[in-house]
Amino acid sequence: MASIPESALASLQDALTSSIVYTPSSPGYQESLIRWSGTGIKQAGIVIQPTAIKDIQTALLWAQTHNVDLAIKGGGHSVAGTSSSAGGLVIDLSRMNNVTVHPSTKTLTVQGGAVWKDVDEAAAKHGLATVGGTVNHTGVGGLTLGGGYGWLSGGYGLTIDNLLSATVVLADGRVVTASAAENEDLFWGLRGAGYNFGVVVDFVFQAYDQTDPVYAGIVAFTPDKLESVVGELNRLMETPDPRSAAFCILATPPGAPGPMVNVLVFYNGTREEGATHFAGLLALEPVANMVDMVPYEQVNALQNPMATYGGRKVLKGVFFQTPLSGEFLREVLEYLTEKDKEHPELVPALLLEFYDMRKTCSVPLGDTAFANRSATQNGAVNMRWTDAASDGVFRAMARELQARFKAQYEAENGGSNPDDVPQYINYAEPGDSVVNNIYGANLPRLQAIKAKYDPTNVFHKMHGIPKSA
């Protein structure tokens, strides 16, 4: 992309009143480009970090006037670089990260640049919590606009099911409120396809009493226990408990010779209740048991050691139904183990989520733009490495695992087409050839909303909405 003319850059800088500005010659410019994955880093023409809505309005209009590529950065977790721009403008919201707690209504007003750590810790000071990301340095905006699962989803549904309103800066510079009472069509679209309509500068969430610690932590098993662990997780899903959830993570813990079977357990109750609920799993003799009573605001930090910044990453979504086949997952573990031995620089991992989906499924599909309200569970293939020359190799491995899960789904469902299953947008890279369905039956309505609020397709980085025929 051609560089932005100096005169255009100067015009933007002169117009901004409440922003830190970085250009390629500025001290701190390279630091402003850092993302969760090295694959998401692009050399921007200009980066602004506003602290006021008026500068966002100014920057949006400037980008359109000068035909400059635009990206919006919240948490910066996109491995595909959707929060970055090669040669264009990045509006980095990270300085707009305030969280205001309203104890009388048990609501939270969260600025668009906050991460979930900000929310969890602010809410906890008032004995509250809401449904948020399970890695606490994930951005609030990205997770919310794509739906949002969390440890509290069994009781309260998706993050978007607890979104009461949003303040949005539209492409034409207008600032609007979207809620059940104002701009209802936009509010509908934001909840599941929200990347496509504007810059959300404030979210208002419903929160809930959460004064007690929870039973949570990781238990690790040797690979020979895989089928037994899967069997126990399947058994728990036969009689789901809204207070409980678990992640099965096939990954190599520090110091281990290869991938192991790790389970991150969660129970929103006492130690006795949690231990009873997971008694069958704990009876399988884990080689490590780090489960304890944990303040809720710390639970979303438990995965942080496995989800650190740095390196190059690929993240690709998979989906499955329970009961999950232990035989199938054995093949997957053997594949991961083989690749781990072949490629010393590779850190492979597979995360499979086991949520009680009943609350999520209780919301009618047409009530929000979120397209995959079903008992189907989600997961993510996460590969990490260091050398950019290996990008193609490891991305191909992730696609291979993704394809295996789709084939398994088809085999288990009598030949049903897995392309008919809308996939979780937050685990799907834009342009992913294996992902065929994001918006499902909601697409026609989304096309109409897109035409109304962003007719020139200013916001298109993350799973853009195609124009209707």
Tokens of 379: 């997961």
Under DSSP, is residue 250 helix (H, G, I), strand (E, B) or coil? strand
pLDDT band at 300 (very low <50, low <70, confident <90, very high): very high
**What's the pLDDT score for residue 416?**
74
Residue intervals of the chain classified under CATH 3.30.465.10 are: 99-210
For residue 353, what is the enclosing H or E element?
strand 347-355
Instruction: Please give the share of the chain, as a percent, with pLDDT higher than 70.
Output: 99
**What's the pLDDT score for residue 299?**
97
pLDDT higher than 60, residue 96: yes
Q: What is the pLDDT of residues 269-295, one digit of tens each?
A: 999 999 999 999 999 999 999 999 999
Average pLDDT of every residue of the chain? 95
pLDDT band at 2 (very low <50, low <70, confident <90, very high): low
Flag the least confident range among 23-37, 80-94, 338-352, 414-428.
414-428
pLDDT higher than 70, residue 172: yes
**What's the pLDDT score for residue 433?**
61
β-pair partners for 47: 22, 90
CATH architecture of 6-92: 2-Layer Sandwich (3.30)
Residue intervals of the chain classified under CATH 3.30.43.10 are: 6-92
Residue intervals of the chain classified under CATH 3.40.462.20 are: 214-427
pLDDT higher than 90, residue 126: yes
Q: What is the pLDDT of residues 411-455, one digit of tens each?
A: 998 877 777 777 898 998 887 766 678 898 999 999 999 999 999
Mean pLDDT of 195-212: 98
pLDDT higher than 90, residue 252: yes
CATH architecture of 99-210: 2-Layer Sandwich (3.30)
pLDDT higher than 90, residue 466: no
pLDDT higher than 90, residue 255: no
- Other CB atoms within 10 A of residue 331 CB: 12
* DSSP one-letter code for 362: T
DSSP string, 165-210: EEEEE-TTS-EEEEESSSSHHHHHHHHHHGGGT-EEEEEEEE-EE-
* Apex 243 CA angle, 237 and 249, nearest 5: 55
**CATH number for the domain formed by residue range(s) 214-427:** 3.40.462.20
pLDDT higher than 60, residue 1: no
Q: Which of 424, 336, 443, 431 is nearest to 383 (CA)?
A: 336
